[in-house]
Structure 1
Amino acid sequence: MKAGVLYSGGKDSSLAAMMLGTYYEVELNTFVFDPDRQIPMVEAAAGVLGFPIKKRVFKKGLLDEMVDLVIAKGYPNDAINRIHREAIEALAGEYSVVGDGTRFDDRVPMLARDAVQSLGSRTGCSYVRPLLGWVRPEVDRLVDRFLTVQYGETGQVRNGDYEAEIREAFRARGLDFAPLFPKHHEQSLVVGRKNS
């Protein structure tokens, strides 16, 4: 059975894909707002894992909506959660199993229990989060054992994180995103696999 996994190229979604690959035929899915955006680093990370990857494009206008939402709220959390939900909903229309790399201590992105139940009831899709019971130190320990990872600030690491494109959209409008986003937000990108 196929499982569509939301994939940023980072350590969490990579580890989740590896875990799900034990039981399912994993297909990685990276969502972008701009259909012309290239994701070579994310594709390379998928190649390291040995799973096929699909680039998918969000509906037109969603990015502008999300920039407006960040401005209205004064922080990005609601926008990131909305984007994540949109991606999961899109995959639920194609896959019977959808997964991602959200962990126990994640706040954003995170679907609440009632949203997960609603997704299953409406679509028949099983939404699985293999890292949900894992705290960050244990995730990091497994990642260090199996993967080689590059770390850096949002925008410096060219992964498939939603936040980078939102920040770029702020710049395109001539707006300063810095007051609205957390400082020192570390991102990751898988660049190799260890022989463990």
Structure 2
Amino acid sequence: MRVSVLFSGGKDSSLAAILLEPFFDIELVTCSFSLLPVGDIARETAERMGFAHRVVQLERSVLEKAYGMVITDGFPKNAINHIHSAAVEKLATEENVSFIADGIRRDDRVPVLDMSRIRSIEDKYDVHYVSPLKGYGRAAVNELVSRHLVIEEDQSDNIIKADYETELRELIRQRDGSEKINEVFPAHIQSHVIERKKVRPKRS
């Protein structure tokens, strides 16, 4: 069976793929609005991890609605959740996709899908949505990441990633300037996966 894992090149989506690897054929999927070469950024990471990768184009209307949300709200939560929901549904419409996964953790507030939205997508498109990190908190994820991945971390302005935030920030920069980005996006640490560690199997 194949699972399509929504992939930003960050530690959470990378770890989700690793956790699913014993049970599925993995393909990493990066969604793009073509404002920035996020697909190329993610592809390099996917290749270093040894996973197949492809880029899916999301409709510009999704980004435009997210832009309106973040400007109106003054914070990015609802906008990012809107893009994530659209990305999951976009994958669900594809004929050969039956399992969709992401890197959402137990304590994440964004991006998240509420249960009614998950059930709606699963029932409408006859797919299965999986979040392998949903039972893991931040500390547990960091423990697993330290064992399996080499990462770099820095403020979001300084990290090259392929997440939804990247192109949303770029659209705000183009229309409203860099200062507006700092107004609506709180300072936070982002991660980018450099490579996968060679983990020695445990002895029985």
- When normalised by structure 2's length, the TM-score is 0.91
Which residue, out of 104, 107, 112, partners 2:106? 104
Query: Quick check: 53-62 or 98-107, which moved more?
Result: 53-62
1:54 is matched with: 54
Contact preservation (8 Å) 1:35, 1:57? no
CA distance 1:38–1:112, change in 2 (3 Å)? closer
Deviation by residue 1:85-122 (Cα, 9 ceiling, x = unmatched): 00000111221000000000001000011111111111
1:152-163 superposed matches below 5 A: 152-163=154-165
Deviation by residue 1:134-158 (Cα, 9 ceiling, x = unmatched): 0111110000001100112223211
One-letter amino acid matched to 1:77: K
Which structure is higher in helix share?
A: 2
1:90-101 superposed matches below 5 A: 90-94=90-94, 95-101=97-103
Q: Does 1:2 align with 2:20?
A: no
**Unaligned runs of at least 5 residues, structure 1:** none
The alpha-carbon deviation at position 164 of structure 1 amounts to 1.6
User: RMSD of the TM alignment (CA)?
Assistant: 1.4
Query: Quick check: 142-151 or 172-181, which moved more?
Result: 172-181
Contact preservation (8 Å) 1:39, 1:159? no
Which residue, out of 166, 181, 186, partners 2:185? 181
One-letter amino acid matched to 2:161: N
Contact preservation (8 Å) 1:155, 1:164? no
One-letter amino acid matched to 1:144: S
Q: Does 1:146 align with 2:148?
A: yes
Q: Does 1:123 align with 2:118?
A: no
1:25-104 superposed matches below 5 A: 25-34=25-34, 37-94=37-94, 95-104=97-106
Give secondary structure in 2 for the equivalent of 1:173. helix
Seq. identity, %: 38
Which residue, out of 131, 134, 137, partners 1:132? 134
1:195 is matched with: 198
Query: Structure 1 stretches (4+) deviating beyond 4 angstroms?
Result: none
One-letter amino acid matched to 1:145: R
CA distance 1:96–1:182, change in 2 (3 Å)? same
Query: Quick check: 31-40 or 79-88, which moved more?
Result: 31-40
The alpha-carbon deviation at position 61 of structure 1 amounts to 3.0
**Unaligned runs of at least 5 residues, structure 2:** 200-204
The alpha-carbon deviation at position 65 of structure 1 amounts to 2.1
CA distance 1:36–1:132, change in 2 (3 Å)? closer
Once residues 114 and 173 of structure 2 are traced to their aligned partners in structure 1, the CA distance between those partners, rounded to angstroms, is 31
Once residues 137 and 10 of structure 2 are traced to their aligned partners in structure 1, the CA distance between those partners, rounded to angstroms, is 16
- Count of equivalent residues: 195
Give secondary structure in 1 for the equivalent of 2:152. strand
- When normalised by structure 1's length, the TM-score is 0.94
Give secondary structure in 2 for the equivalent of 1:29. strand
Contact preservation (8 Å) 1:18, 1:49? no
2:11 is matched with: 11
CA distance 1:172–1:52, change in 2 (3 Å)? same
Contact preservation (8 Å) 1:42, 1:158? no
